[in-house]
Amino acid sequence: MKARPAARAVRLEPASAAGLSCTSVWAEFLVSLAMLSALLLLVVQTASAAEQPIGFSHTAHIEKASMQCTDCHEGATSRDSAGLPSIRKCMLCHQFIATDLPEVVRLSEYWERKHEVPWERIYGFAKTAAVQFRHAPHARAEIACSQCHGDVASMTVAVKAVTHTMGSCIQCHRENSATDDCLACHY
Ligand code: HEC
Ligand code: HEC
Ligand code: HEC
Ligand code: HEC
Ligand code: HEC
């Protein structure tokens, strides 16, 4: 939980050299700038479903196949990145199950060509924001997936149900006495 003190001490160096002291007026300015741009993004962004290459349904897998989130997103409780499943995992079942459904036929076509399915990503931050999100500490703090991703289990098409901004991260961190150190969330 108090992980990587050494790594953080190393990473702190360049930032304080750049004047990123949390008490400085400069930091205050950056924070309000970030919150403002986050707000603008929220207004511009339309929370829409991505056009996926295959009609994958979360509901079908939670309800009919009785699967858990971590069966497919293996890192979601233990690593930084939750990860998306490889087509190998899908084919463990779909070589035998529902092979006649049209969307499963399309899945098999990727498999026969030895291609991964090129899923459209839904969550994530612009590279320029230099955010490093980590799943594991949140799972340890027992925050449900649904708090940050909505009720995915009942989605036939996964949509961005929650918009994450610096403001929303920090608000929950303050409520839970979690960190507001710039370098916990930024690299
Ligand atoms: C059978 C495997 C499987 C299971 C089980 C599963 N998922 Fe997924 N999940 C996927 C696949 C494949 C995608 C990519 C396609 C899509 O977005 O619909 C995905 C996408 C997502 C995304 C969007 C990722 C992004 O940013 O692009 C989230 C969030 C997510 N799943 C959360 C969950 C949660 C929460 C659960 C448990 C309730 C769950 N998943 C169970 C396979 C699975
Ligand atoms: C544990 C077994 C299992 C795994 C692993 C699995 N599925 Fe499925 N899948 C099922 C079952 C069961 C159904 C429901 C079949 C039905 O409706 O008769 C299903 C249904 C589907 C459908 C049809 C949905 C519809 O309503 O038309 C698609 C497409 C699909 N799965 C894709 C995937 C993909 C992509 C993966 C890998 C990310 C995956 N499945 C992994 C068991 C599995
Ligand atoms: C505190 C908020 C939070 C919680 C709790 C959370 N996530 Fe995420 N999740 C995020 C954010 C933010 C991203 C985008 C991260 C990025 O791209 O840097 C993300 C990305 C993902 C992705 C896309 C693939 C990836 O690795 O980035 C999947 C899948 C996912 N989460 C599944 C889950 C599952 C399953 C759970 C519950 C076990 C969960 N998440 C819990 C905030 C959260
Ligand atoms: C729903 C509440 C909630 C939300 C939303 C949330 N967090 Fe957290 N976060 C926590 C809690 C609780 C902890 C664990 C604190 C602890 O273990 O002491 C944590 C821990 C972390 C840590 C590990 C800090 C450390 O000291 O190791 C990072 C990094 C982090 N969060 C980044 C983010 C980012 C980036 C976002 C927004 C995309 C975010 N969090 C959104 C509640 C939240
Ligand atoms: C709890 C996590 C968290 C903490 C702590 C945090 N940030 Fe952020 N910050 C984010 C996230 C997430 C974004 C991306 C928001 C988005 O994409 O809408 C962001 C965006 C930004 C941006 C905008 C970058 C861009 O180009 O879009 C700046 C500047 C910034 N943060 C500076 C800071 C400074 C300075 C501090 C310390 C005073 C800080 N942040 C602390 C999570 C955090």
Count other C-beta atoms under 10 Å from residue 155's C-beta: 17
| Tens-place pLDDT, residues 21-34 | 444 555 555 545 55
| Interval between CA 49 and ligand 2 midpoint (Å) | 19
User: What gap in Å lies between CA 82 and CA 136, rounded to an integer?
Assistant: 9
Instruction: Tell me the CA–centroid distance for residue 88 and ligand 2, in Å.
Output: 13
Evaluate whether 54 touches 106 at the Cβ level (below 8 Å). Answer: yes
Spell out which residues line ligand 2, taking CB within 6 angstroms: 54-57, 60-61, 64-65, 67, 72, 85, 89-90, 92-94, 97-98, 101, 103-104, 107
pLDDT score for 16: 37
Sign of CA dihedral 46, 50, 55, 57: negative
- Does ligand 3 come within 6 angstroms of the Cβ of 170? no
- Residue 4 CA from chain centroid, whole number: 21
Nearest ligand for residue 80 CA: 3
Query: Residue 158, Cβ neighbours under 10 Å: how many?
Result: 19
pLDDT for position 50: 79
Please report the pLDDT score of residue 34 as a whole number: 55
Q: Between the CA atoms of 57, 62, 63 and 65, what dihedral angle is there, to the nearest 10 degrees?
A: 90
Instruction: Indicate which ligand has the atom closest to the C-alpha of 32.
Output: 5
The per-residue pLDDT for range 55-79, each reduced to its tens digit, is 999 999 999 999 999 999 999 999 9
Atom 6 in ligand 3: residue holding the nearest Cα: 145
The residue nearest atom 32 of ligand 2, judged by CA position, is 56
Higher-confidence position of 6 and 114 = 114
Which residues are within 8 A (CB) of 71 and not within 5 positions of it... i.e. 6 or more apart? Answer: none
Which atom of ligand 3 is found nearest the CA of 75? 26
pLDDT at 72: 98
Which atom of ligand 2 lies nearest, measured to the CA of 64?
A: 12
